[in-house]
Amino acid sequence: MLASKKISVMFLCVLAVTFLASTAITRPAEPELRIAVNSTTIESFPVFAAVDAMSANGAGSRIRLIPAASGRIAMSQLVGGAADVATGSETQALLNSVTDPRIRIILTLAECRYRIIARRSAGIHRIEDLRGKSVAVTANTSSHYYLDRMLRNARVNEQDILLTALEGQDMPAALVKRTVDAVSIWEPHAQNSLEALGDDAVVLEDSSAYTERFNLNTRTDVLADPAKRAALLALFREIARSSARLRMRPPELISTLSPKIGLPAKTVMAVWPQFSFPASLSGKLRAALGEVEPWVAAIQKRQARAGNDLTVLIDNSVMDQALK
């Protein structure tokens, strides 16, 4: 009887070891890098193209994309710890770095020129004509900041217009229904608004007022993690290659990448001149942060940070290491 019990115990131990071993073999490994990526914007193309290329050469298992419906959501996932990296404009980095001082901008994926699309029939021909008109923005985003800069440059107070908060996808219909007179927004919503109005559209644009820098953002704890940093290096190198293809031979990638953000290729091609894909960290980024910071501080009802406090938000160490 004792020998029989010993055999049973040994048999159960063997089964347990076998089960644990098979579980270890079949359980998928956790990705080394989780990227919250805005799945609605053309600016995200370098990330999508890079991850596609990494998957094709067998390195894609190190990366997991977390689709986000906006840059605000992507950045909230980074701050909340659900993601290690997130895409977003410099306005979002400034807004979220107050909550989480570990936020760092590590690469500019895209630069985009914004447009204000207005109804000619509302008597709008220039920025000054927005006085007394209803203008839609996506509140507390680069859409809102662009309008603010355009108004200030024309010496128009924001209080002199009727500000309406709308998401970008709702703006074309609002123009057609005449519930707003103008919209300030990124692509493709500006192009969709332009096409919706047809001959009634007026375009108000000034890239010197503001050009969006759409960045890859992370946290200092991610940068300090050897495995995550190695995955970042691999991602950076692929982003550099994919961005070069986007700059030199866009048609090769547009047909593949457009469905990832739910857009027809013809729409992407129509707005392509609004974009550039530098895959770098421009020396102008620090100045851009300094320009946007007072507006962000006013929204958050706090004192604007000094230039030295903003410089720390930019970390070029991964880029330098990846591209040397």
Per-residue pLDDT, averaged over 236-249, amounts to 95
pLDDT score at 27: 46
Average pLDDT, the chain: 91
> How far is Cα 273 from Cα 179, in angstroms, rounded to an integer?
29
Q: Above 60 in pLDDT, residue 248? A: yes
- Which structure tokens are listed for 180? 């707003």
- Helix, strand, or coil (residue 164): strand
pLDDT score at 29: 57
Residue partners of 312: CB distance under 8 A and separation at least 6? none
Per-residue pLDDT, averaged over 312-322, amounts to 94
> How far is Cα 269 from Cα 273, in angstroms, rounded to an integer?
8
> How far is Cα 89 from Cα 105, in angstroms, rounded to an integer?
10
Interval 102-112: pLDDT, tens: 999 999 999 99
Taking the CA atoms of 145, 246, 106 and 222 in sequence, report the sign of the dihedral they define: positive
> How far is Cα 37 from Cα 51, in angstroms, rounded to an integer?
11
Q: In what order do the strands lie in the sheet with 85-89?
A: 63-68, 33-38, 85-89, 211-219, 103-113, 275-276
How many Å separate Cα 143 from the centre of its chain? 13
* CB-based burial label for 310 (10 Å; 0-12, 13-18, 19+): buried
Per-residue pLDDT, averaged over 267-271, amounts to 95
**Which percentage of the chain shows pLDDT scores above 70?**
90
> How far is Cα 76 from Cα 214, in angstroms, rounded to an integer?
16
Residue 23 phi/psi, 5° resolution? Answer: -65, -40
Per-residue pLDDT, averaged over 246-268, amounts to 94
Break the chain into its structural domains and give their ranges.
33-112+212-323, 115-204
The CATH superfamily holding the domain 33-112+212-323 is: Periplasmic binding protein-like II (3.40.190.10)
pLDDT score at 1: 47
Interval 146-185: pLDDT, tens: 999 999 999 999 999 999 999 999 999 999 999 999 999 9
Same topology, domains 33-112+212-323 and 115-204? Answer is: yes
pLDDT score at 5: 47
Per-residue pLDDT, averaged over 302-307, amounts to 93
Residue partners of 191: CB distance under 8 A and separation at least 6? 267, 270, 271
Which residue's structure tokens are 């953002």? 217
Residue partners of 26: CB distance under 8 A and separation at least 6? none
Using the CB atoms, write b or e for 225-241: b if 16+ within 10 Å. beebbebbebbbebbbe
pLDDT score at 30: 60
Interval 7-61: pLDDT, tens: 454 444 444 444 444 444 444 456 789 999 999 999 999 999 999 999 998 877 7
Global pTM reads: 0.87
Residues forming beta bridges with residue 164, ordered by sequence position: 136
How many Å separate Cα 174 from the centre of its chain? 25
On whether the 115-204 domain is CATH 3.40.190.10, my answer is: yes
Task: Give the 3-state secondary structure of 30-43.
Answer: CCCEEEEEECCCHH
Interval 180-201: pLDDT, tens: 999 999 999 999 999 999 999 9
